[in-house]
Structure 1
Amino acid sequence: MAESASKRLKTDGGITIGTHNGHFHADEALAVYMLRQLPTYADAALVRTRDPALLATCHTVVDVGGEYDAAANRYDHHQRTFATTFPGRPTKLSSAGLVYLHFGRSLVAQKLQKPEDSDEVGLLWNKIYESFVEALDAHDNGISAYDAKGLEAAGLEKRFSEGGFTLGAMVGRLNPNWNDPVPSDPQEAQAAEDERFVAASARIGEEFTRDLEYYAQAWLPAREIVRQAYQKRLEYDPEGRIMVLEGQSVPWKDHLYTLEEQEGTDKKVLYVLYAEKPVPDAKWRIQAVPVTKDSFQSRKPLPEPWRGARDEQLDGITGIPGGVFIHASGFIGGNKTFEGAKAMAVKALTL
């Protein structure tokens, strides 16, 4: 394989990224993708090999070579002594995390068109690691999201299969099957394998880019809107348990939890009100705040007698006109007007 890799190596002085050949994983697939989004690496060639002599000719090497040295552009994590983590996080890095640690600020700054040392870049640099990259670091290093001994002690078991469709599995399934035909010519076989890797890198990269674009273009602009709504919450309830998003709904959960944590208050927001559409006659939603961002458990679900009711039936139960529906689980409901939704929230606080 070393010979065919050598033939693929550019000799015109351009930058070459090196990674290992053979079975590929999500971490090096994302590492290569992230590098190639930066101007320095935009036209970089790729060499997949384990030959130390060939790797030594590469400008940057990820996930192979047994060396972590950012000054030399070497980003492997398989050394016995390797224990590097992202700032403030406990998970040992993979090649994806290493590349993101050193180049992630540049990627975020490039997207936001702001200096790398700006507060916004720092905020998103941390957020995207926690929301996306850390899962790949954990997957590649064999770190479970839950403590296995703790789960066993609690007697907890999965109720159903999740299909195994994790970010890591999404890349892994693009490897060839054990019984797929392989070209007899080593160079052709390596070229076919490299083609699969390039497709896998683009696939995981597409998801990374969607995450980056969401947080840059939707999540970050919502921060100020939620902050203003949080500051006005006492206008709707003396204990600040109702928050109203004026204009239209925005991604609010992360920002709300952060604001509450920063304030250190015991008086948590229980219901968030927002219009379905940014038009004057829009219907309004009332949503119970979940215990955590991804939890199906609410801090205070809408009252049980209301759940599953709609329209006139709901009006009769609540005594509030304009009801549209209450979800069977009590996590969300609706009313035709803001005043109606506010009345539902105020009444729900007492039940």
Structure 2
Amino acid sequence: MFRAKIFQLFSNCRTLSKSGFLLQSILTIPQQLKMSTGNSPLTIGTHSGIFHCDEVLACFLLRQLPQFSDAKIVRSRDENDLKQCEIVVDVGGVFDKNKNLFDHHQKSFNETFSSLRPEFPNYNIRLSSAGLIYTYFGEEVIQKILKDKCDLKVDSKLLKTIFEKVYRGLIQEIDGIDNGVPMFEGEPAYQISTDLSSRIGRLNSVWNDTGSFDVQSQFEKAIVVVGEEFIDRVTYYGSVWHPARSIVQDAIENRYNVHSSGEIIFLSQICPWKDHLCDLETENGLDGVLKYVLFCSSATDYRVNCVPINPKSFVCRKFLHKEWRGVRDADLAKISGIKGAIFVHATGFIGGCKTREGALEMAIKSLNADGESL
């Protein structure tokens, strides 16, 4: 942490060297700081023993910053070892951002994403070390990844959007799992074991392993795994997800050209639409209005997708006609009266037709039919 302070001092004193004040400032630096100004790489401290997804991701994030790009990771619980590190995560029993100490295990720690960043409300899960590092350094990391991987330079508004999306879609999950926060009350209907935290956990030594185990090598392997996941998420939001917003916006603006109800839209291109639709509805005072989204899957395959009550839900505002569900091809065309009808899913959340006109008819008839409507 001391060398990082030295770097900050140099950057703040660029105009002072001509007058001799820079030399005077360096001479007044405490001896402990001066001892840290050699050519050895900066060090990131974290705990030894079994590693977890949160400190692995915290280390990855720090290594994306220019000052820590070549940092050595010291895994220890020895206080003397950790004191020599420029930054410490997930160990030490102290959270003090000004001293680069980022532990979250102490009883006094109750910080959340929203408590440290009030501009992002309603995130109430206690932070892990990954969440802490992301809260303070995530925006800088995202900017660097988008520039390096996608040659994208994002403005402050888009950066804020992606920053929150990555927290909500990835970091919050790691915070919750590391702190033992259940996703909901009661027992789940099934278990998920392919999540990132589980994959990292399986890189640790197993109880009955009789061979040699290189924990440092496995820790570095874990950093690669979480890094690929994080980079994939950031680049997706920046170069794939966000550009779709304009397509959804155009579809909403032209909804009355599709049907007089204004409850059906047609996407000019197939794209990620659910999050954007929800956000744009709220921005335009249209919450809950849209029921069906039409798009072209291929030249002879047009789809009608029911709008869910929220982007992650399997419950839709109005499902397709209940008599069509699970029926296909000629049988579906017969009972629906829609030429070229291909299928309707058994749950009624999506259907297909050979033509755009047929897909639109499928949506209109479902809109006017009795059935589940929220």
- Pairwise CA RMSD: 2.2
Q: Distance in 2 between matches of 1:120 and 1:317?
A: 47
Gaps (5+ residues) in structure 1?
A: 1-10, 152-156, 184-188
Q: Any conservation in 2 of the 1:241–1:267 contact (CA below 8 Å)?
A: no
**CA shift for structure 1 position 37:** 2.2
Is 1:165 aligned with 2:194?
yes
Structure of greater relative contact order (alpha carbons < 8 Å, 6+ residues apart): 1
1:271 aligns with 2:292: yes
Instruction: Give, in whole Å, the separation in 2 of the partners of 1:218 and 1:106.
Output: 20
Q: Secondary structure at the match of 1:24?
A: coil
* 2:121 is the counterpart of 1:94: no
| More moved, 263-272 vs 91-100 | 263-272
Q: 2:258 corresponds to which residue?
A: 236
Matches of residues 11-160 of structure 1 in structure 2 within 5 Å? 12-87=39-114, 88=121, 89-113=123-147, 118-146=156-184, 148=185, 151=186, 157-159=187-189
CA distance in 1: counterparts of 2:155 and 2:244, whole angstroms = 21
Q: Does 1:291 align with 2:293?
A: no
Higher mean displacement: 331-340 or 174-183: 174-183
Distance 2:153 2:95 in 1: 27
Change (3 A) 1:143 1:163: closer
- Relative distance call for 1:66 and 1:182 in structure 2 (3 A) is farther
User: Do the aligned partners of 1:276 and 1:283 also contact (CA within 8 Å) in 2?
Assistant: yes
**1:330 is paired with a residue of what secondary structure?**
coil
Of the candidates 339, 349, 356, which is equivalent to residue 321 of structure 1? 339
TM-score norm. by structure 2 comes to 0.81
Give the match for residue 302 of structure 1.
Answer: 320
Q: Which moved more, 1:131-140 or 1:212-221?
A: 212-221
Instruction: Quote the offset at 1:116 in angstroms.
Output: 7.5
When Rg is computed on C-alpha atoms for both structures, the one with the higher figure is: 2
User: Retained in 1: the 8 A contact 2:321–2:365?
Assistant: no
1:63-120 CA-partner distances (Å, limit 9, x unpaired):
1112222232221112221122113211111100011011110122123346676100
Q: Identity, % of aligned pairs?
A: 42
> In 2, Cα distance between the equivalents of 1:172 and 1:37?
23
TM (norm. structure 1) is 0.86
| Closer, same or farther: CA 53–116 of 1 in aligned 2, 3 Å | farther
Question: What's the counterpart of residue 234 of structure 2?
Answer: 212
Residue 305 of structure 2: SS of its match in structure 1? strand
Q: Deviations over 1:251-281 (max 9, x none)?
A: 011111112223333552111000114xxx4
Give the equivalent residue in structure 2 for 1:249.
270
Which residue pairs with 2:208 in the alignment?
179
Asked whether the 8 Å contact 1:112–1:121 carries over to 2, the reply is no
